[in-house]
């Protein structure tokens, strides 16, 4: 009886919290599939993998969000968002990928006004990469957008200790949208990386990150609604942080050609999308100056530490109300070429199935995987990162997306 009373009291308290809000909702996306990937290195080595994919098209996630009407078009809002995986483990064991963090993607509170826009404080989606890129290419999905990040991007998708402002939705009749994000720096964490063998003592080095700040923003403009023309532009700047480098086995981390310190960086993005009847065409340019700002910087002196320019072209075709086809092409200054084709069938607004094929001819950077594989625990050389300079890889997968 006492246990029943306690349970009823707990339910009553939860119900009371929900009633105090205008709307508290659980939401999410599930994107799981099965894929086959094969790669051939520059020296002819072949490797393949078949396995379950996660987030190949859209990120698998879950979240809780809510709002409270404060009157006069002003609302108090909150959003907490985390990852869902296909293999039942933490999102990733990779350095800096947020292992064990429940709400890695979003953890923020804010105020939203129909007249003045929205302000969020905490962990947010960054304005440039998470918002702008996804609005330009018609059918890119994670497979293409993550590739542009690796090949030419320097952004941080989920900046912490951040404040984000988003323009009101009805600005200029809804033709102008955009926003900016400022992050004072990420919380220091412990990261580990296996050092390369070229000139360095083999083994695993570790270091503590030192936070650096980040600022980014973008604007999206639809000048004439009837033309269905969309223009987008943005910029991102990350100030240098650094790493504390302890000695390991007499070999200080700072002496290794990898993982020495963090560099500042800039990223510029511009794009245009035009839709005509059932067709849509998107063209995007990105330029990155400096090393990536993630927890594991690029090798000093490598191409990834210099300027990288990426061109992305996407075509979408709405064949029927339920069927959408698309293709993408990505090229960067490292002479990497990615070809991606997709087919989608929607059962409803919540559920769809898709298939995609991708082929990548890697240039000098060696950092492009043909399809985003998510948290698969198979061959990481093939599926989750660099396939090596001057190599080739192809992948095919089918998947299903359900939104709730």
Dump pLDDT digits (tens) for 289-311: 654 433 344 444 444 445 678 89
Contact 153, 238 (CB under 8 A): no
How far is Cα 146 from Cα 376, in angstroms, rounded to an integer?
Answer: 16
Judge whether 135 lies within some domain.
yes
- Beta strand ranges found along 86-221 (DSSP E): 106-113, 117-123, 162-166, 176-183, 190-195, 203-210, 214-221
The token duo for 75 is 């609302």
Domain of residue 289, residue span: 25-403
Residue with tokens 């119900």: 15
Sign of CA dihedral 126, 316, 368, 396: positive
258-293 residues labelled b (16+ CB within 10 A) or e (exposed): bbbbbbbbebbbbbebebeeeebbbebbbbbebbbb
Q: What is the DSSP string of 274-335?
A: EEETTEEEEEEEEEEEES--SSSPPPTTSGGGS-EEEEEEEEEEE-SSSEEEEEEEEEETT-
C-beta neighbour count of 384 within 10 angstroms: 18
Band the pLDDT of 278: cuts 50, 70, 90.
Answer: very high
Contact 272, 228 (CB under 8 A): no
Answer yes or no: is pLDDT of 149 > 70: no
How far is Cα 304 from Cα 31, in angstroms, rounded to an integer?
Answer: 30
How far is Cα 242 from Cα 261, in angstroms, rounded to an integer?
Answer: 5
Judge whether 2 lies within some domain.
no
Q: For residue 330, what is the domain's CATH number?
A: 2.40.160.10
Q: How far apart are the first and last CA of the chain?
A: 36
CA angle (174, 178, 183) in 5-degree steps: 155
131: DSSP letter: I
Judge whether 8 lies within some domain.
no
Beta partners for 191?
A: 207
| pTM for this entry | 0.77
Judge whether 4 lies within some domain.
no
Judge whether 12 lies within some domain.
no
C-beta neighbour count of 5 within 10 angstroms: 9
Count of domains forming the chain: 1
Percent over 70 (pLDDT), the chain:
63
Judge whether 9 lies within some domain.
no
Most confident option among 41-55, 225-239, 284-298: 41-55
305-320 residues labelled b (16+ CB within 10 A) or e (exposed): beebbbebebbbbbee
Sign of CA dihedral 381, 390, 395, 347: positive
How far is Cα 336 from Cα 362, in angstroms, rounded to an integer?
Answer: 5
C-beta neighbour count of 62 within 10 angstroms: 17
Answer yes or no: is pLDDT of 196 > 60: no
C-beta neighbour count of 303 within 10 angstroms: 18
Sign of CA dihedral 388, 96, 338, 306: negative
Instruction: Please give the pLDDT value at position 117.
Output: 95
Judge whether 17 lies within some domain.
no
How far is Cα 231 from Cα 224, in angstroms, rounded to an integer?
Answer: 11
pLDDT in tens, 44-95: 888 888 888 888 888 889 999 999 999 999 999 999 998 887 766 555 443 3
Band the pLDDT of 23: cuts 50, 70, 90.
Answer: confident
pLDDT in tens, 107-143: 999 999 999 999 999 999 887 765 555 578 899 888 8
Collapsed DSSP state (helix, strand, coil) of residue 48: strand
Contact 233, 206 (CB under 8 A): no
C-beta neighbour count of 6 within 10 angstroms: 10
pLDDT in tens, 327-368: 999 998 888 899 999 999 999 999 999 999 999 998 876 667
Contact 377, 87 (CB under 8 A): yes
Q: Give the gyration radius of the chain's Cα atoms.
A: 22
Judge whether 197 lies within some domain.
yes
């Amino acid at each position: 009886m006492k246990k029943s009373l306690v349970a009823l009291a707990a339910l009553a308290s939860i119900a009371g919290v929900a009633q105090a809000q205008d709307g508290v909702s659980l939401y999410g996306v599930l994107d799981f599939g099965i894929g086959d990937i094969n790669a051939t290195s520059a020296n002819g080595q072949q490797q393949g993998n078949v396995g379950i994919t996660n987030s190949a098209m859209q990120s698998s996630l879950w979240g809780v969000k809510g709002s409270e009407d404060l009157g006069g078009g002003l609302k108090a809002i909150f959003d907490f968002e985390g990852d869902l995986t296909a293999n039942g483990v933490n999102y990733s064991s990779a350095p800096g990928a947020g292992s064990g963090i429940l709400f890695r993607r979003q953890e923020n509170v804010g105020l939203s006004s129909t007249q003045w826009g929205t302000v969020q404080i905490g962990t947010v989606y960054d304005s440039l990469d998470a918002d702008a890129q996804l609005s330009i290419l018609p059918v890119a999905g994670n497979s293409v957008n993550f590739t542009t990040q690796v090949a030419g991007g320097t952004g941080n998708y989920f900046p912490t200790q951040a404040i984000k402002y988003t323009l009101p939705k009805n600005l200029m009749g809804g033709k102008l949208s955009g926003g900016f994000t400022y992050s004072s720096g990420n919380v220091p964490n412990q990261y580990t990386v296996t050092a390369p063998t070229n000139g360095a003592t083999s083994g695993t080095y570790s270091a503590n990150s030192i936070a650096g700040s980040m600022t980014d923003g973008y604007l999206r403009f639809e000048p004439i609604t009837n033309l269905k023309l969309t223009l987008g532009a943005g910029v991102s700047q990350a100030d240098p942080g650094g790493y504390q480098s302890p000695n390991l086995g007499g070999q200080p981390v700072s002496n290794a050609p990898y993982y020495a310190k963090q560099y500042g960086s800039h990223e510029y993005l511009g794009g245009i999308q035009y839709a005509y009847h059932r067709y849509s065409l998107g063209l995007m340019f990105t330029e990155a100056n400096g090393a990536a700002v993630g927890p594991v910087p690029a090798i000093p002196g490598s191409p990834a530490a210099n300027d990288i320019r990426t061109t992305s072209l996407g075509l979408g075709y709405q064949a029927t109300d339920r069927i959408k086809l698309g293709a993408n092409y990505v090229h960067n200054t490292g002479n990497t070429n990615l070809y991606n084709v997709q087919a989608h069938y929607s059962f409803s607004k919540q559920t769809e199935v898709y298939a995609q094929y991708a082929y990548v001819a890697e240039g000098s950077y060696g950092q492009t995987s043909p399809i985003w594989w998510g948290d698969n625990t198979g061959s990481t050389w093939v599926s989750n990162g660099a396939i090596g300079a001057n190599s080739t890889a192809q992948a095919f997968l089918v998947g299903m997306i359900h939104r709730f």
